[in-house]
Amino acid sequence: MDEKDYKKNVVTRHHYWHYGNCINKIELNIINESYKNWDMKEINVTSCYKMYNVGYNLGPYDDLNYLKNNRSLRCNWINDEWLPLWGNLTNKKAKLIRSIKKYWLYERFIILNLILNTYYIPKDIINLIYFYL
């Protein structure tokens, strides 16, 4: 996936994502963070005042319970179901999600293997089950 696919398939208005909020440099200095670590884009408001675009936020249509209860006090821009702009952070997230999916696929395979080997099932049927997975 590249930046074009990311904008077209992941953070579309169809999925209720909108271009996120902006924060100022003072907020980042207070929490001792760099905008580069969060893949933010720098916006020059005036010659001495800069703001940073935080990425994409889920629209106000979403009213899930965990959005109200699990609030970050440190990085307030992630409280509204946040996705970063395309960059290093999105690649790290993709690797993490792939590894989680791989882990659970392996765990399901082990459980299925135990179930199929516990009961007498002909090998042909077992091969068909594995083929359709």
What is the number of structural domains in the chain? 2
- 97: part of which helix (H) or strand (E)? helix 88-118
pTM (2 decimals)? 0.56
Q: Are residues 64 and 19 in the same domain?
A: yes
Q: Are residues 81 and 102 in the same domain?
A: no
Domain range for residue 62?
Answer: 1-86
Strand, coil or helix: 21: coil
The predicted model gives 30-38 an average pLDDT of 84
Q: Are residues 92 and 82 in the same domain?
A: no
Q: What percent of the chain has pLDDT over 90?
A: 1
